Amino acid sequence: MGIQLHNRRAILKAGSTALALPFLDSLSIAKSVNAVAPKRFLMIGCGYGFTKETFFPTKAGRFSEIGLTPGLKPLERHRDDITMVSNLTNLGATNAHGGSTSYLTGANVSGTPGKKFHNSISLDQVIAREIGQDTRFPAISLSDKDTKDGHGPGLSLSWSDKGHPIPGVTNPVDLYHQLFGQDKESAAEREFRLAERRSVLDGVVADLKSSKRKLSKTDQDKLEEYLQSIRQIEQSISREVEWSNTPKPNAPIKQPKEGMDGLQALKTFQRLIVAAFQTDSTRVITYRQPISSILKSWEFSLGAHSLSHYNLDPRRREASQQKDVMFMDLFGDLIDMFKQTQDVNGENLFDSTLISYGSNLRTGHGLKGCPAIHTGGAGKKLRRGEHIMLPDQDTPLANYWLTLTQQAGVDLERFSHSTGTLDELLA
């Protein structure tokens, strides 16, 4: 079954140099020691959690003293920069197969009277309101083509202020063109196209509003939700107009090839994430990380869901442990890229970014004690290099998000079902 552990680094590194990120000298962004680097947020969510017996530390303390578990061992070189927090629970999550649906919202998606499903706004969208208005893209959502990957309903980790799913970019080539593709339209052609889109939307809205009074209360509510989605399109058009005369930055990496999938796509997305922050195209990114396609790339015979039931036999447990190590290998590589990429102030990108990595599920289908790892230098008062065990085993995950967000400089008093911040995370 699967691949041997001693081969994993060779497989992960195969072809990794083709898209190496250069420093900012090659970009159209001025670098200055007097420049102030903006704060960035990256939130990565995965499905099904990790292997209970070999991934989670059993003792609190600094990793230099307690050591890293076998599952976390690939992060050894980043040991002093990572923090793991235990005893967090997403109080809104009720469905073990819901995965990441409420990971960044905290909502009980089936708990709204009169509605079969209702989510709320995700943390990335809240942050984007505060710090995303100075960039071409207030926030970017990434996902995978496989929607049945332990994630549950949704198109990414991101949800609008009305609880509607925000589609994630699933193709690295599409993201590359979104970030760096040069517009071949003339200014006049672009203005005409955007005006035409606005005109169509205005006509649709007028028709819908004229018929609203003829509808029942239930249908009026449904219509209002639809109108809200149209307003979001209108906002997108307005933003495109605002940025239409600002050229996109030069790409710091080569254009990816079409047809990428699995491991190759994930590694390319990681490089594009760094490139998006490096060029200040956005300051907020979420990534609903795939599992099944990655396992296929690693030649695992089990799918993600089957692997999550690793207690059924020793072979599954071994494969689950391998999976954990390999994903932490990839996460370690991502941290490397942030540390090796220069920021506008001459320092590295890692120092201005807050990176979170976790899951709505602890292990298999367990909802309590979600895994939570964060790193990066954006939260200056956050403790680093240790495992923190919170005293309450059901500490709201929303408290964790609120603490991280505040420490990274976002003015937020409350989020979802938060009851306060976590002083245990502060130095």
Say what the pLDDT of residue 111 is: 76
- pTM for this structure? 0.85
Q: How many CB atoms lie within 10 A of CB 421?
A: 17
Please, are residues 418 and 398 in contact by the beta-carbon 8 Å criterion? yes
Contacts of 5 (CB under 8 A, 6+ apart): 322, 325
Question: Is 183:150 a contact under the CB 8 Å cutoff?
Answer: no
Residues forming a β-bridge with 302: none
Of 326, 76, 151, the closest CA to residue 318 belongs to 326
Burial 251-267 (b: 16+ CB within 10 A, else e): bbbeebeeebbbbbbbb
Q: How far is CA 109 from CA 79, 119, 164, 280, 415, in A?
A: 36, 5, 11, 34, 16
Residue 386's nearest CA partner among 23, 63, 109, 52 is 63
pLDDT at 306: 86
What pLDDT shows up at residue 18? 35
Question: What is the pLDDT at residue 185?
Answer: 60
Angle at 91 between CA 86 and CA 92, to 5 degrees: 135
**271/274 Cα distance (integer angstroms):** 5
Rg (CA), the chain: 22
Residues in the chain: 427
Q: Does the CA dihedral 420-100-313-57 come out positive or negative?
A: negative
What spatial distance separates the first Cα and last Cα of the chain, rounded to whole Å?
44
Q: Give me the pLDDT at residue 23, please.
A: 39
Contact 165, 309 (CB under 8 A): no
Domain range list for the chain: 5-182+251-425, 183-246
Fold of 5-182+251-425: Alkaline Phosphatase, subunit A (3.40.720)
Give me the phi and psi of 426, to 5 degrees please.
-100, 140
For residues 97 and 367, give the distance between their C-alpha atoms in angstroms, rounded to a whole number: 10
Residue 311's alpha-carbon distances to 49, 150, 349, 362, in angstroms, are 14, 17, 40, 14
Say which residues have a Cβ less than 8 Å from residue 214's Cβ, sequence separation at least 6. Answer: none
Q: Cβ distance 157 to 104 under 8 Å?
A: yes
**pLDDT tens, residue order, the chain (427 aa):** 443 444 444 444 443 333 344 434 434 454 555 678 999 999 999 988 899 999 999 999 999 999 999 999 999 999 999 999 999 999 888 877 776 899 999 998 887 777 778 899 999 999 999 999 899 999 999 998 776 666 778 899 999 988 989 999 999 999 999 999 977 666 666 666 666 666 666 666 676 667 666 677 667 666 666 666 666 666 676 677 677 778 899 999 999 999 999 999 999 999 999 999 999 999 999 999 998 889 999 999 888 888 889 988 899 999 999 999 999 999 999 999 999 999 988 899 999 999 999 998 888 788 889 999 999 999 889 999 999 999 998 999 999 999 999 999 999 999 999 999 999 999 9
DSSP H helices in 36-186: 52-55, 63-66, 123-131, 172-180
Token pair, residue 162, equals 């009305």
CA distance to 10, 42, 243, per residue, from 275 (Å): 24, 13, 19
| Token pair listed for 232 | 């979001």
